Copies of this chain bind each other. A is one copy, B any other.
Amino acid sequence: MGKGTLYIVSAPSGAGKSSLISAMLEKNPVYAMKVSVSHTTRGSRPGEEDGVHYHFVERNEFEALIEQGIFLEHAEVFGNYYGTSRVWIEENLDRGIDVFLDIDWQGARQIREQMPHAKSVFILPPSNGELERRLNVRGQDSSEIIAKRMSEAKSEMSHYDEYDYIIVNDDFDAALMDFRAILRAERLKQDKQTAKYSGMLSALLAE
C-alpha cells in the first residue's frame, strides 16, 4: 500500500471549499480520505463540534503546544490562533489515507516547505458578484463583515498561482467532478501505483 497524499486546499470565503470537501468525503467512499482537524483558540460557532470541526483549546494551552513543536504550521488570524498537527497528518498519510488541509495561502506556504509532496488546490468563484451573493445567502454575517470578507477574498485569490491545481466552482457538480478527477489522477501517478501494485508488478516482470 502506498502513502496517502496531503491536499492543501485554499479558497476565499464563499467559494464553496467546505461544501466541496464535505461532498468528497460523503460521496466518494472508495478512497480513504479525511479532513485535517485544526486546533484553534476561537470560540465555536453554532453546530460546530469539538474534535470534528476544530479542536477548541484555550490560549495558554495552544501556546504550550507551540512550545512542544506539534504544529506543522500555526497562525494568528483576527486575534485567534489556528494550528495543524503534524503528527496526526503523518500517521494518516502512512496508513494510505489522503488528508485534506483547509488553510489560507500563508499557511499553505508553510506546509509546502515542510511537506514537499503535498498537492495544492485553489478553489475560485466564477465572479466577485457571485462570491458576494454567496456570502449574503449565509445570512449570519453583517454587511461590514461581508465587505471585509470581499476585501480578504481578493487578497486570498491573488495567490491562486502558487497552487498546483485550480478549480472554478461555478457549477457545484462539475467542481466536485474536477476535485475527484484530481484525487483519482494523483493515485495513478507512477510512484503511487508502484507501491500499490508491487506484487502484481513482480509477477508481470518475473522471468
Taking residues whose C-beta sits less than 8 angstroms from the other chain, chain A's interface range is: 35 or more
Contact residues of A between 152 and 207, Cβ < 8 Å to B: 154, 157-158, 160-161, 163-168, 177-178, 180-182, 184-186, 188-190, 193-194, 197, 200-201, 203-205
Give every chain B residue within 8 A of A197 (Cβ-Cβ).
124, 166, 168
Q: With the chains together, A97 CA to B166 CA distance in Å?
A: 20
Q: With the chains together, A201 CA to B154 CA distance in Å?
A: 11
Q: With contacts A154-B204, A165-B190 known, what are 19 further pairs, Cβ within 8 A?
A: A124-B204, A126-B200, A127-B200, A127-B203, A157-B204, A160-B201, A161-B190, A164-B190, A165-B185, A165-B188, A165-B189, A165-B193, A166-B190, A166-B194, A168-B193, A178-B188, A180-B181, A181-B184, A185-B186
Nearest CB in chain B: distance from A196 CB, A = 9
Residues of A that sit less than 8 Å from B by CB: 122, 124-128, 154, 157-158, 160-161, 163-168, 177-178, 180-182, 184-186, 188-190, 193-194, 197, 200-201, 203-205
Which chain B residue lies CB-closest to A186?
B185
Q: Are B157 and A205 in contact (CB under 8 A)?
A: yes
| Total copies of the chain | 2
Q: With the chains together, A126 CA to B199 CA distance in Å?
A: 11
Give every chain B residue within 8 A of A193 (Cβ-Cβ).
165-166, 168
Q: Are A154 and B205 in contact (CB under 8 A)?
A: yes
Q: With the chains together, A160 CA to B193 CA distance in Å?
A: 10
Give every chain B residue within 8 A of A164 (Cβ-Cβ).
189-190
Nearest CB in chain B: distance from A141 CB, A = 21
